[in-house]
């Protein structure tokens, strides 16, 4: 396990570069993001451990970041002051571009993985905005009317956007549709809905709505997503059955801050939680029951090295399938192999 | 449309084609959407109110009762509250003046005419002016305004602004010059008095007066003050000390009326915000108090929350500072202190000057390196980040939305972050499940994914 200390700053998000297997970026804020400056760290994995290649200072906490899919040296940050900034590692100490439209904290940014000319941002002002890096103003604003904690493009389709928000709903937007009164909204799935197929030894009916903090698209099954939030439960959804969750993965004691599907295994999830643990899960879809995605999900292992709330996780796309990076408010960024933490 | 493309064509058909064209895609809200503020459709409560009035006018009838008109914007009532003395004094003074029927236009101070003496749209318009330019009241070019200010003397004049102790004697003095009997002699005397006062005051200009004048100038230069922005005592001090950072002080600049209103209850808002912050921290701690694991007991974040709750730490501006009342000696393990000692260079208690943040005046002079082509692309006019001198999105002065964010942001952010941490009390209702029971079952099964064991 490799470790890097973001001294004086509490990390919120960590992301592997999609271009280099040894490059990481971490967005962080002083004073746990409540007040004070933010900092964007560019880290390199070297033979001597993790080395900070460069960092950028910002006025306010950076809640999220995403690497550009167009340029290997560029990355976007989501600022607590409502700004989105594009940094270039090769250029100076200031952002090369910035966008300011959101009225409140921007809480997530995500680059379109298919049509690499657009990216999105979601904010506590209750909107998701679609942007193009060469335009000053946003292309589209998707109103959600609730604090949007997380928004993503589908990795399978350039025009599908999903988001999860405070109101306990998973929304799906199709940008190909005409902008009618629906504002591209095609689906709004209640996350707290009971399971369609009840799983024995698991009470899932009648759950109260709770804020949903994070979600992620499965990288292999193009209709499957996972969400997680304040109730500490990870749920998987299949957009082909949009009435409620397909699978429920309880286990975290407190809210789950981030989930991420493995880029190598279609059934494996990694999560970070306010209970200070990071856990590996399977949703059971590749097991003996036919791989329908309705298997019995379970926790595969947990990593307890963080000593404050765990905030960010990301899988390494390169090399062996188990490497990942996590960060937490203990000012630590850890790079580790989940296979070391599997239950034997 | 497609069937119109083939077959015989005539001009009527062409026209029909034009009208039936599906333009919904072209009318996509690309531009209208990008401005969140302009998007809403809050209806004007007065829409349609004017219609019968207009019809009556056209029909030659006398205008209906104006009382029904409600000023739409929320500005004027607040404004009136911010200027209780001058507004009242000036309006009575002005009405007295009008009663004398001097052949002179009514002075500008008559911003809030009592009763429906003027037509409602005009009133609306005037209070709009007052809202957007509150300085108009004191900078009115009317000689009588000057006289009033002169009678007050320089001190009295300043007491209109940020004088913490608004002396009642000044106030009565200010109300006095209601001109019951207007005569030339009094007018002349007033000028003499003003001259004397000025001569007396100009010589011993204290530093405080100077600073206050500066502050006033600064607040004059403020383009637009956020209405909801609450200014407290600290902010006033902050803006005083920030006078040499004009960019920075924009954030604190407010019309002096608001400043003075704050002074009526000094420190009230500070205390309220601190209370709210402490209450939020308390709520947070109650949620985790039954968790007695080492991690939670030793958590620095929860330690900070405890100190916030106990008022040992408070938020001041962009920093967390220890309150003076805190005499604890065991602060060595505190994150704020470790921050300061372990990384002296990046001590976050030391603010980066705003003009050095996030913008790069010399970007075009930087050596050409890896990302230069992208920078060149982005520096083209019309692109974000272009025009290195003043890139719009990176300019250091805060936009109005920024002002909005700074207002008790830390409390809201703590509350929001907190809400995202643990279930709220409503969501804590028993789900009939110990969440760990399931994972323990998984543990006992001893199952490991074959892919990982390979």
> What is the SS3 assignment for B247?
helix
Chain B: nearest CA to A224, how far in angstroms? 20
Do residues B122 and B130 lie in contact, with contact meaning Cβ atoms separated by under 8 Å?
Answer: no
Spell out which residues of chain A touch residue B395, defining contact as CB-CB under 8 Å.
none
**Residue to substitute from B290, B316, B435, B441, interface A, most A β-carbons within 10 A:** B435
Residue of B nearest to A63 (CA): B417
Spell out which residues of chain A touch residue B405, defining contact as CB-CB under 8 Å.
80-82, 104-105
What average pLDDT does the segment B180-187 reach?
A: 70
**A99/B422 Cβ within 8 A:** no
Confidence of residue A326 (pLDDT cuts 50, 70, 90): very high
Least confident of A194-203, B29-38, B310-319: B29-38
Distance CA(A289)–CA(A284), nearest Å, equals: 8
A133 contact B CB<8A: yes
Confidence of residue B226 (pLDDT cuts 50, 70, 90): very low
Average pLDDT, chain B: 53
Which CATH number does the domain housing residue A130 bear? 2.130.10.10
Secondary structure string (H, E, C) spanning B343-408: CCCCCCCCCCCHHHCCCCCCHHHCCCCCCHHHHHHHHCCCCCCCCCCCCCCCCCCCCHHHHHHHCC
Residue of A nearest to B370 (CA): A90
Distance CA(B200)–CA(B117), nearest Å, equals: 42
The per-residue pLDDT for range B306-330, each reduced to its tens digit, is 888 888 877 777 777 777 654 444 4
The per-residue pLDDT for range B104-125, each reduced to its tens digit, is 444 444 444 444 444 566 666 6
pLDDT given at position B145: 43
Residues in A 50-89 with any Cβ partner in B closer than 8 A:
57-59, 71, 73-74, 80-83, 85-86, 88-89
Percentage of chain B with pLDDT > 90? 0
Distance CA(B238)–CA(B240), nearest Å, equals: 5
Confidence of residue B378 (pLDDT cuts 50, 70, 90): low
The per-residue pLDDT for range B337-375, each reduced to its tens digit, is 333 333 334 444 445 555 555 544 444 444 445 555 655
B366 contact A CB<8A: yes
Spell out which residues of chain B touch residue A41, defining contact as CB-CB under 8 Å.
none
The per-residue pLDDT for range A45-60, each reduced to its tens digit, is 998 899 999 999 998 9
Percentage of chain B with pLDDT > 70? 18
The per-residue pLDDT for range A255-273, each reduced to its tens digit, is 899 999 999 988 899 999 9
Spell out which residues of chain A touch residue B359, defining contact as CB-CB under 8 Å.
94
Spell out which residues of chain A touch residue B25, defining contact as CB-CB under 8 Å.
178
Tell whether the model's pLDDT for residue A166 goes beyond 50: yes
CA angle B39, B43, B44 (to 5 degrees): 120
**B371/A71 Cβ within 8 A:** yes
Of A71, A83, A213, nearest to B374 by CB-CB distance is: A71
Least confident of A83-97, A330-344, B190-204: B190-204
Instruction: Tokens for A59, please give them.
Output: 């006025």
Tell whether the model's pLDDT for residue A19 goes beyond 80: yes
Residue of B nearest to A320 (CA): B452
pLDDT given at position B187: 81
Residues in A 181-240 with any Cβ partner in B closer than 8 A:
201-203, 207-211, 213, 229-233
B385 contact A CB<8A: yes
Spell out which residues of chain B touch residue A229, defining contact as CB-CB under 8 Å.
420
- The domain of A42 spans 2-196+205-341
**Residue to substitute from B285, B292, B414, B420, interface A, most A β-carbons within 10 A:** B420
pLDDT given at position B367: 46
Q: Which class for B294: exposed (0-12), middle (13-18), buried (19 or more C-beta within 10 A)?
A: exposed
pLDDT given at position B89: 46
In the numeric block, the tokens 């003046």 are attached to B97
Residues 6 or more apart in contact with residue A309 via CB below 8 angstroms: A257, A273, A274, A276, A328, A329, B301, B421
Return the exposure string of B233-244: e unless at least 16 CB atoms fall within 10 Å of the residue's CB, then b.
bebbebbbebbe
Residue B338's CB is within 10 A of a number of other CB atoms, namely: 16
> What is the SS3 assignment for B270?
helix
Global confidence as pTM:
0.56
Residue of A nearest to B352 (CA): A59
B323 contact A CB<8A: no
pLDDT given at position B94: 60
Distance CA(A36)–CA(A59), nearest Å, equals: 7
What is the signed CA dihedral for B96, B100, B106, B108, rounded to 10 degrees? -30
**A104/B405 Cβ within 8 A:** yes
What's the number of domains chain A is made of? 1
What average pLDDT does the segment B181-206 reach?
A: 73
Q: Which class for A251: exposed (0-12), middle (13-18), buried (19 or more C-beta within 10 A)?
A: buried
Residue B17's CB is within 10 A of a number of other CB atoms, namely: 13
The per-residue pLDDT for range B247-293, each reduced to its tens digit, is 333 333 333 443 334 344 445 555 666 777 788 788 888 877 777 78
A344 contact B CB<8A: yes
What average pLDDT does the segment A62-69 reach?
A: 94
**A81/B423 Cβ within 8 A:** no
Chain B: nearest CA to A185, how far in angstroms? 15
> What is the SS3 assignment for A50?
strand
Helices assigned H by DSSP within A43-116:
none
What average pLDDT does the segment B435-439 reach?
A: 34
B31 contact A CB<8A: yes
Do residues A125 and A100 lie in contact, with contact meaning Cβ atoms separated by under 8 Å?
Answer: no
The per-residue pLDDT for range B125-153, each reduced to its tens digit, is 666 555 554 444 444 444 444 444 444 44
Element (H, E) at A251: none
What average pLDDT does the segment B222-240 reach?
A: 42
Tell whether the model's pLDDT for residue B60 goes beyond 50: yes
Distance CA(A159)–CA(A149), nearest Å, equals: 20
Do residues A92 and A59 lie in contact, with contact meaning Cβ atoms separated by under 8 Å?
Answer: no
Percentage of chain A with pLDDT > 70? 94
What is the value of ipTM here, to two decimals? 0.81
pLDDT given at position A162: 95
């Amino acid at each position: 396990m490799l470790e890097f200390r973001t001294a004086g700053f509490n990390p919120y998000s960590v992301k592997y570069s999609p271009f280099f297997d040894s490059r990481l970026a971490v967005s962080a804020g002083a004073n746990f993001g409540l007040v004070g400056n933010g900092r964007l760290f560019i880290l390199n994995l070297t033979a001597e451990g993790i080395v900070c290649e460069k960092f950028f200072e910002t006025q306010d906490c950076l809640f999220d970041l995403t690497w550009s899919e167009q340029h290997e040296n560029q990355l976007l940050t989501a600022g607590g002051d409502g700004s989105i900034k594009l940094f270039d590692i090769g250029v100076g100490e200031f952002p090369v571009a910035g966008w300011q439209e959101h009225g409140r904290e921007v809480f997530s940014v995500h680059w379109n993985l298919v049509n690499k000319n657009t990216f999105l941002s979601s904010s506590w002002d209750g909107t998701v905005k679609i942007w193009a890096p060469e335009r000053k103003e946003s292309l589209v604003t998707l109103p959600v009317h609730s604090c949007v904690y997380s928004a993503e493009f589908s990795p399978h389709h350039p025009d599908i956007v999903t988001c999860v928000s405070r109101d306990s709903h998973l929304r799906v937007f199709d940008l190909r549709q005409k902008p009618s009164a629906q504002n591209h909204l095609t689906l709004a799935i209640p996350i707290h809905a009971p399971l369609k197929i009840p799983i024995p030894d698991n009470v899932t009916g009648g759950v109260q709505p709770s804020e949903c903090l994070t979600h992620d698209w499965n990288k292999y099954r193009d209709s499957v997503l996972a969400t997680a939030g304040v109730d500490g439960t990870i749920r998987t959804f299949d957009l082909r059955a949009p009435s409620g969750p397909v699978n429920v993965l309880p286990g975290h004691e407190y809210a789950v801050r981030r989930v991420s599907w493995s880029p190598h295994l279609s059934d494996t999830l990694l999560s970070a939680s306010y209970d200070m643990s990071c856990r590996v899960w399977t949703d059971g879809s590749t097991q003996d029951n036919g791989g329908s995605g309705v298997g019995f999900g379970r926790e595969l292992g947990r990593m307890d090295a963080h000593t404050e709330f765990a905030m960010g996780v990301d899988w390494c796309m390169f090399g062996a399938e188990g490497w990942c990076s996590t960060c937490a408010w203990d000012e630590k960024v850890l790079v580790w192999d989940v296979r070391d933490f599997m239950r034997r | 449309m497609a069937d119109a493309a083939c077959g015989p064509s005539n001009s009527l058909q062409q026209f029909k084609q034009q009208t039936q064209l599906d333009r919904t895609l072209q009318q996509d809200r690309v531009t209208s959407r990008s401005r969140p503020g302009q998007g809403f459709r809050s209806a004007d409560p007065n829409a349609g109110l004017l219609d019968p009035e207009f019809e009556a006018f056209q029909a030659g009838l006398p205008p209906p009762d104006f009382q029904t008109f409600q000023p739409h914007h929320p500005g004027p009532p607040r404004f009136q509250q911010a200027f209780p003395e001058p507004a009242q004094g000036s309006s009575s003074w002005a009405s007295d003046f009008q009663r004398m029927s001097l052949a002179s236009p009514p002075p500008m101070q008559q911003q809030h005419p009592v009763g429906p003496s003027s037509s409602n749209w005009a009133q609306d318009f005037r209070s709009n002016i007052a809202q957007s330019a509150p300085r108009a009241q004191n900078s009115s070019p009317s000689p009588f305004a000057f006289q009033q200010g002169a009678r007050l003397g320089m001190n009295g004049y300043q007491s209109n602004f940020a004088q913490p102790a608004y002396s009642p004697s000044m106030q009565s003095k200010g109300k006095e010059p209601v001109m019951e009997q207007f005569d030339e002699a009094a007018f002349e005397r007033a000028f003499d008095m003003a001259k004397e006062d000025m001569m007396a005051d100009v010589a011993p200009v204290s530093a405080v007066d100077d600073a206050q004048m500066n502050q006033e100038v600064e607040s004059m230069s403020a383009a637009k003050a956020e209405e909801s922005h609450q200014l407290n005592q600290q902010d006033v001090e902050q803006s005083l000390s920030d006078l040499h950072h004009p960019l920075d002080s924009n954030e604190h600049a407010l019309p002096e009326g608001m400043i003075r209103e704050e002074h009526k209850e000094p420190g009230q808002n500070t205390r309220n915000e601190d209370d709210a912050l402490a209450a939020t921290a308390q709520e947070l701690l109650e949620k985790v108090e039954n968790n007695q694991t080492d991690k939670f007991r030793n958590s620095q974040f929860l330690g900070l929350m405890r100190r916030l709750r106990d008022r040992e730490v408070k938020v001041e501006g962009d920093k967390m500072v220890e309150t003076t009342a805190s005499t604890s000696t065991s602060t060595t393990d505190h994150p704020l202190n470790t921050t300061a000692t372990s990384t002296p260079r990046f001590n976050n208690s030391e603010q980066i000057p705003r003009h050095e943040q996030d913008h790069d005046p010399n970007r075009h002079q930087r050596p050409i390196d890896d990302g230069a082509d992208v920078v060149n692309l982005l520096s083209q006019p019309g692109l974000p980040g272009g025009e290195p001198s003043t890139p719009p999105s990176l300019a250091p002065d805060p936009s109005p939305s920024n002002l909005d964010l700074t207002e008790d942001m830390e409390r809201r952010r703590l509350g929001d972050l907190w809400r995202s941490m643990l279930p709220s009390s409503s969501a804590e209702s028993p789900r009939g499940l110990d969440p760990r029971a399931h994972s323990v079952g998984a543990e006992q099964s001893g199952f490991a994914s074959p892919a990982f064991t390979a």
